[in-house]
Amino acid sequence: MSKSKNKLLNIEDLGIEYVTEDGTVKAVNGIEIKLNEGETLGLVGETGAGKTTTALGIMRLVPNPPGKIVSGKIEFEGSNLLDVSEEEMRMIRGNKISMIFQDPMTSLNPVMTVGQQIAEVIEIHQDLSRQEAAKKSEEMLELVGIPGSRANDYPHQFSGGMKQRVVIAISLACNPQLLIADEPTTALDVTIQAQVLDLMNNLKKEFNTAMILITHDLGVVSEVCDKVAIMYAGEIIESATLEQLFTNPRHPYTVGLFGSIPNLEEETDRLSPVKGLMPDPTDLPSGCKFHPRCPYAKDICAKQDPNSTEIEAQHKVKCLIYEGLIDAEVKR
Amino acid sequence: MTSTLADKSRTTLKKKNKKRSQWAEVWRRLKKNKMAMLGLAILAVLILGAVFAPWIADYDEVVIKLDLVNRLQGPSAENLLGTDEFGRDILARMIWGARVSLRVGILAVGISILIGGSLGAIAGFYGGKLDTVIMRIMDIFLAIPGILLAIAIVSALGPSLINLMIAIGISSVPSYARIVRASVLSIREQEFIEAARAIGANDTRIILKHIIPNALAPVIVQGTLGVAGAILSTAGLSFIGLGIQPPAPEWGAMLATGRAFLRDAWHVTTFPGLAIMITILALNLVGDGLRDALDPRLKQ
Amino acid sequence: MGFALTVKSEGRIIMHKYIFKRLLLLIPVLLGVTFIVFTIMSFTPGDPAQLMLGESAPPDAVEQLRQEMGLDDPFLVQYLRFVGNAVRGDFGRSFSTKRPVFAEIFARFPNTLALAAVGVAIAVAIGIPVGIISATKQYSLMDSISMIAALLGVSMPNFWLGLMLILVFSVGLGWLPFAGFESAKSIILPAITLGTGAAAIITRMTRSSMLEVIRQDFIRTARAKGVAEKKVINKHALKNALIPVITVVGLQFGFLLGGAVLTETVFSWPGVGRLLVEAIRQKDTPTVLASVVFMATTFSFVNLLVDILYAYVDPRIKSQYSK
């Protein structure tokens, strides 16, 4: 890897809560993320694990009310994003950090042309005239594989995959240091998914942009990411380099995730998915959040919240087994 | 995060649905809504007043009997809200007026629901040409502002309580037809209707047993708000002399007569108007509350 | 540039086609409206010829007039004759004044239109800004106050509000005239009376529409682009939120025309509404019929205008008609 290894993002102990009528939801609970320039992190987890909330937290766009960032810091290029003014934050959004959302069908303003929507982000962050911004927006369209002449069309005149290309054009228009892509291909057809993913990956390399790719698809992760963090019930329960995670997953949940993917090379009779369902976010289990579903769980797991244990360089697991409190070996 | 919350509310909903019936759940949500409860309390007082009016004030002796010596008296211990131009107690007339307003309001809405609901159900259930014809006719009715249609009907049929109800009822038929049709269309394609067909239920049975109960929620909401609208129209038509005829007490007619004495006796117009406003307010609060309670997704 | 131009003129042709199509669609609606109102009015008891000539007219004169008016013809023939005449601006003569009904209505129509227009203007000028502020500051004191005010506005009978305004501003304070049509000041109270209910409804609609739009993904996209919050609201949210509000404003205009009947009565405003009320009192069927038809027609035209405006605002609708 020839990429520069300057620290870009350092998140520590980030906690985000939603206060609702039925109780407080700890959507994100003390997570830690480190990312260097040009690197790609895969943030993996089931629906409701807190991935999108984490992303919105980095953008400081958690809807408030009901959401609130309650603890931690988000260091980006050395300054804590939780301390900067709203105006400074605004100059970072779309410029240094930009985000691609899950559903391209609803991510674009239906009453503005796509050209206007791309030009807008350019006009905000770059000192360009209206004409120059319009010209640049056409270039961005070409870059994502859409004829520049379609800049005057409205979103409803595009297909889902094309819309996501437009969203990508918006997010890359100002050449950001960090791109957060929240399940960018989930809402698209399988054939289009690959195209969009390739496009993102190529552009990211071309601009040396760091990326956080939120997904529940380990296959996508293996193609794109350098590092992986697995989220469960608002916590990162395992983080590692891509190679470490794929060759040596340690957390029972991670192992369970791999067990639910069909493997073409080995012959298995049946898949072994993780049993049970995500816990009710207003009523999380005590101790380790995963213990009700964990095949290795002992009594202590219901009482003690595990710490993150570094089992090898860059490989951390949040499980009592690695704190030496349970005698078990996690097997695939 | 939106998905998190949505999932959560869905799971909690499911949990509770198992425990309680749907209507108990609606009532539970409605009870939480303070404004709706306020509206319900006001309505309860109004309905009690209307039902027990004969025990509160005698119709012949108090409500319509002239007492010209005491005409246009302001509020006093004797007449809490004063007297009108014939010396009649305004409070007593207002209580009797509630009888008229509530009766016309509820019956007019009943007429609209019966006609509009049937037309909408037929249009939605059978679809095709029948649907097109019915809904085009409804569109034409909608092109005439409701109160004008009601005015035309009453002025042709002549002013009376029954004609008033018919006029107001007919003028809001199209909105119920639309609502019922829309919910029938959304229900018709659902699997439980197919299942009912598969076990040999005929059309009438499907309409009565499956479609109507499911279309009920939006109709109840619209009906509650519709009673408010009907009471407002009744008062409006009476105000221009097309409604309840004197000496029967009706809120709109009462404040219309007070108009001539605005300068000297403000209370004659003010209080009946307040009665109308409070009634409509209560119905609106309950209607809004019901809408939120019946469809929690719409609640902001 | 040349490309953009052709796109624009193409769009204009599409719009022209759309407007033309909508105008054609108006014809069956108006035929339907006149048919309904004509049918309803035909239930009016009494012989129109007798009513026209008065109680004491000799029977043979009444019979002769019946012949002339074609009152013995089948119902459908009478209706078609009515439509045929109406298209040429002939709605018959008033039973009471004996003057052509069309002229009577036309003389008063501008007054009703002015009243309704000022009423709508007041409603829009209050309803939209208050609705936006309420939505952007949801659950604030300002939001609570405006929502309670809107609730009262929706619940108030407008004729009563009119009388209360007269009580306060004319009888009490003596600031404004309570009736008639003398000066520009005369329109203030009736327009407020008429506009209040619509203002309340537009406020509520704007607020809920805005709240819905604010929660949408593209608003999040705009914020993620670094668009300033004020611009997120005014540029991205507002235009989308106003689309349903436009429909409501159009519908409200119809209610205002209906409400004008009551308001004009309260303020003795010389408009079509008051003409209608007087015509009803005098059992002047041709005037009643024509007034209702006239107002319903106006309402239909306003709705047409609203739909055209809609197509201009919402590109999705425009492109539906380009196919």
In chain B, residues with a C-beta closer than 8 Å to the C-beta of C255 are 145-147
Answer whether A18 sits within 8 Å of B12, measured CB to CB.
Answer: no
Residue with tokens 């039973």: C95
Query: Cα–Cα–Cα angle for B238, B239, B245, nearest 5°?
Result: 40
List the single residue in C with minimal CA-CA distance to A118: C225
pLDDT at res. C180: 65
Q: How many CB atoms lie within 10 A of CB B72?
A: 17
For residue C207, name the pLDDT band (cuts at 50, 70, 90): very high
List the single residue in B with minimal CA-CA distance to A48: B4
Cα distance between residue A121 and residue A133, in whole Å: 9
In chain A, residues with a C-beta closer than 8 Å to the C-beta of C315 are 110-111, 154, 156
Cα distance between residue B109 and residue C165, in whole Å: 31
Contact A330/A250 with Cβ under 8 angstroms?
yes
pLDDT at res. C126: 94
Best to test chain B binding among C159, C214, C288 (most B CBs inside 10 Å): C159
Query: Cα–Cα–Cα angle for B212, B215, B221, nearest 5°?
Result: 125
Residue B6 has pLDDT above 60, yes or no: no
Q: Does B68 touch chain C (CB under 8 A)?
A: no
The minimal CB distance from B157 to the residues C36, C43, C208 is found for C43
Answer whether C240 sits within 8 Å of A106, measured CB to CB.
Answer: no
Instruction: Render pLDDT for C21-37 as a digit per residue (tens, 0 to 9).
Output: 888 888 898 899 989 98
Contact B285/B215 with Cβ under 8 angstroms?
no
List residues of chain B with CB under 8 Å from any CB of chain A: 1-5, 7-9, 11-12
Cα distance between residue A50 and residue A43, in whole Å: 10
Answer whether C33 sits within 8 Å of B252, measured CB to CB.
Answer: no
Cα distance between residue C274 and residue A100, in whole Å: 60
Owning domain of residue B166: 27-294
Q: Which of C9, C19, C15 minimizes the C-alpha distance to C305?
A: C19
pLDDT at res. C178: 67
The tokens of A324 are what?
């030496």
In chain C, residues with a C-beta closer than 8 Å to the C-beta of B284 are 151, 154-155
In chain B, residues with a C-beta closer than 8 Å to the C-beta of A56 are 1
Q: How many residues does chain C have?
A: 323
Q: Is residue B95 part of a domain?
A: yes
List the single residue in B with minimal CA-CA distance to C215: B2
Cα distance between residue B12 and residue A322, in whole Å: 35
The residue type at A297: A
List residues of chain A with CB under 8 Å from any CB of chain B: 18, 20, 22, 25, 27, 47-48, 50, 52-53, 56, 62-63, 66-67, 280-282
The minimal CB distance from C157 to the residues B235, B240, B285 is found for B235
Mean pLDDT across chain C, nearest whole number? 84
Question: How many domains, chain B?
Answer: 1
Angle at which helices B22-32 and B266-294 pack, to 10 degrees? 130
Distance of CA A323 to the CA centre of its chain: 28
A173: CB partners within 8 A, 6+ apart: A118, A121, A122, A136, A137, A140
Residue C38 has pLDDT above 60, yes or no: yes
Cα distance between residue A82 and residue A69, in whole Å: 9
- What is the model's pTM? 0.81
**Beta strand pairing status for A97-100 and A178-182?**
parallel
Best to test chain C binding among B1, B2, B3, B140 (most C CBs inside 10 Å): B140
Residue with tokens 């006009």: A123
Residue C131 has pLDDT above 90, yes or no: yes
Q: Which of A220, A279, A309, A321 minimizes the C-alpha distance to A32?
A: A309
Instruction: Render pLDDT for B173-215 as a digit per residue (tens, 0 to 9).
Output: 998 998 888 888 877 777 777 777 778 777 777 777 777 777 7
DSSP letter for A144, please.
T
Q: Mean pLDDT, to the nearest integer, of B220-230?
A: 89
Cα distance between residue A321 and residue A301, in whole Å: 10
The tokens of A8 are what?
């870009």
Q: Which of residues 207-246 of B touch C (CB under 8 A)?
A: 228, 232, 235-236, 239-242
Reduced DSSP (H G I as helix, E B as strand, rest coil) percent helix, strand, coil of chain B, to 5: 80, 0, 20
B226: domain CATH number is 1.10.3720.10
The residue type at B295: D
- Dihedral through CA B253, CA B254, CA B260, CA B263, nearest 10? -150
Contact C157/B243 with Cβ under 8 angstroms?
no
The neighbouring-strand residues paired with A18 are A25, A67
Across the B/C interface, how many CB contacts are shorter than 8 Å?
139
Residue with tokens 């919402």: C314
For residue B116, name the pLDDT band (cuts at 50, 70, 90): very high
The residue type at A304: Q
The minimal CB distance from C280 to the residues B242, B262, B280 is found for B242
pLDDT at res. A143: 84
The DSSP element (H or E) to which B222 belongs, if any, is: helix B212-239
Instruction: Render pLDDT for B55-81 as a digit per residue (tens, 0 to 9).
Output: 777 766 666 667 677 776 777 767 666
Cα distance between residue A62 and residue A72, in whole Å: 15
The minimal CB distance from B143 to the residues C155, C265, C296 is found for C296
**Distance from the B188 Cα atom to the nearest Cα atom in chain A, whole angstroms:** 28
Answer whether C236 sits within 8 Å of A152, measured CB to CB.
Answer: no
**Distance from the B147 Cα atom to the nearest Cα atom in chain C, whole angstroms:** 6
ipTM of the complex: 0.83
Answer whether B4 sits within 8 Å of A281, measured CB to CB.
Answer: yes
Q: What is the CA radius of gyration of chain A?
A: 21
The tokens of C23 are what?
């105008």
Is residue A65 reached through a cis peptide bond, with omega within 30 degrees of 0 on the bond before it?
yes
The full DSSP string for A175-208 is --SEEEEESTTTTS-HHHHHHHHHHHHHHHHHHT
The tokens of B227 are what?
């009673």
pLDDT at res. C321: 59
Cα distance between residue C158 and residue C192, in whole Å: 9
Mean pLDDT across chain B, nearest whole number? 80
Residue with tokens 């909408």: B120
Residue C323 has pLDDT above 70, yes or no: no
pLDDT at res. B196: 77
- Phi first, then psi, for residue A28 (nearest 5°) are -130, 130
Cα distance between residue B278 and residue B283, in whole Å: 9
Output the 3-class SS for chain C.
CHHHHHHHHHHHHHHHHHHHHHHHHHHHHHHHHHHHHHHHHCCCCCCHHHHHHCCCCCHHHHHHHHHHHCCCCCHHHHHHHHHHHHHCCCCCECCCCCCEHHHHHHHHHHHHHHHHHHHHHHHHHHHHHHHHHHHHCCCCHHHHHHHHHHHHHHHCCHHHHHHHHHHHHHHHCCCCCCCCCCCHHHHHHHHHHHHHHHHHHHHHHHHHHHHHHHCCHHHHHHHHCCCCHHHHHHHHHHHHHHHHHHHHHHHHHHHHHHHHHHHHHHHCCCCHHHHHHHHHHCCCHHHHHHHHHHHHHHHHHHHHHHHHHHHHHCHHHHHHCCC
Q: Is residue B127 part of a domain?
A: yes
Residue with tokens 């000028």: C125
- Phi first, then psi, for residue A15 (nearest 5°) are -130, 130
Residue C7 has pLDDT above 80, yes or no: no
Answer whether B269 sits within 8 Å of C163, measured CB to CB.
Answer: yes
Q: Does B252 touch chain C (CB under 8 A)?
A: yes
Q: Does C81 touch chain A (CB under 8 A)?
A: no
Answer whether C226 sits within 8 Å of A93, measured CB to CB.
Answer: yes
pLDDT at res. B109: 94
- Dihedral through CA B231, CA B234, CA B235, CA B238, nearest 10? -170
Q: Mean pLDDT, to the nearest integer, of B242-267?
A: 80
Residue B107 has pLDDT above 90, yes or no: yes
Lowest mean pLDDT among B151-155, B220-224, C91-95: C91-95
Q: Is residue B280 part of a domain?
A: yes
**In B74-190, which residue ranges form alpha helices assigned H by DSSP?**
90-126, 128-142, 146-157, 161-171, 173-188
The residue type at B10: R
Cα distance between residue C237 and residue A109, in whole Å: 9
Q: Which of C210, C291, C196, C202 minimizes the C-alpha distance to C251?
A: C202
**Neighbouring subunits of B (3+ Cβ pairs under 8 A):** A, C
Cα distance between residue A62 and residue C302, in whole Å: 43
Answer whether B8 sits within 8 Å of A282, measured CB to CB.
Answer: yes
**Beta strand pairing status for A79-80 and A308-312?**
unpaired
Query: Cα–Cα–Cα angle for B167, B172, B176, nearest 5°?
Result: 140
**Distance from the B237 Cα atom to the nearest Cα atom in chain C, whole angstroms:** 9
Angle at which helices B251-258 and B266-294 pack, to 10 degrees? 150
Contact C177/C185 with Cβ under 8 angstroms?
yes
pLDDT at res. B245: 78
B126: CB partners within 8 A, 6+ apart: none
The tokens of B276 are what?
């109308």
List the single residue in B with minimal CA-CA distance to A57: B1
Q: For chain A, which ranges sit under pLDDT 50?
A: 1-3
Q: Does A158 touch chain C (CB under 8 A)?
A: no
Q: Is residue B1 part of a domain?
A: no
Q: Is residue B103 part of a domain?
A: yes
DSSP letter for A157, please.
G
The tokens of B136 are what?
């085009």
Q: Is residue B209 part of a domain?
A: yes
pLDDT at res. B129: 92
Q: Is residue B20 part of a domain?
A: no
Q: Which of A221, A217, A214, A185 minimizes the C-alpha distance to A56?
A: A214
Answer whether B5 sits within 8 Å of A63, measured CB to CB.
Answer: no
Higher-confidence residue: B7 or A58? A58
pLDDT at res. B110: 94
pLDDT at res. A262: 62
Q: Is residue B270 part of a domain?
A: yes
